[in-house]
Structure 1
Amino acid sequence: MDSASAQCRAGRALIGWSQDQLAMAAKVAKATIASFEAGKRAPYDRTLLDLQAALEAAGIEFIPENGSGAGARLRKK
């Protein structure tokens, strides 16, 4: 499983967003998100940046791979 797609799913879950909500926030097609999260295809780099920016704006902080695994968490307010 690709860590970026898992981080996307985890980020959405933490803030309670559907794929539709992320698609609207990132201005990305829902089908692109569904395919990405299912591991069927990798989006363009620009699309990944748009998804990341939308989730970060909603309060998600991405944790890089550091030996314990990549992840996502809610940012402290």
Structure 2
Amino acid sequence: MTADDSRSTLAMALHGAGLTFGLEALFAEYVADGRLRLVLTDWATMGPGFYLYYSGRRQVPAGLRALLTIAAKLKPLG
């Protein structure tokens, strides 16, 4: 089964549907309390994370500005 939503794959993994791949921050709580466990750790990426590229125009769309603000506050990838 495939899904393009991390929360869906998390739900499937928590209900025993198999393996899933996703961001560590989303799964950390469940790994810490033993509901999920890490497998295939040799295949995990330790890359630099994601980058967001956007035009340097003065008129940044409100939605993009909100995303940038939220990402800066939450730092979802550490």
* Normalised TM-score (structure 2): 0.22
Higher helix residue share: 1
Q: Which has the larger radius of gyration?
A: 2
Which structure's residues are more often strand, by fraction?
1
Higher relative contact order (Cα pairs below 8 Å, separated by 6+ residues): 1
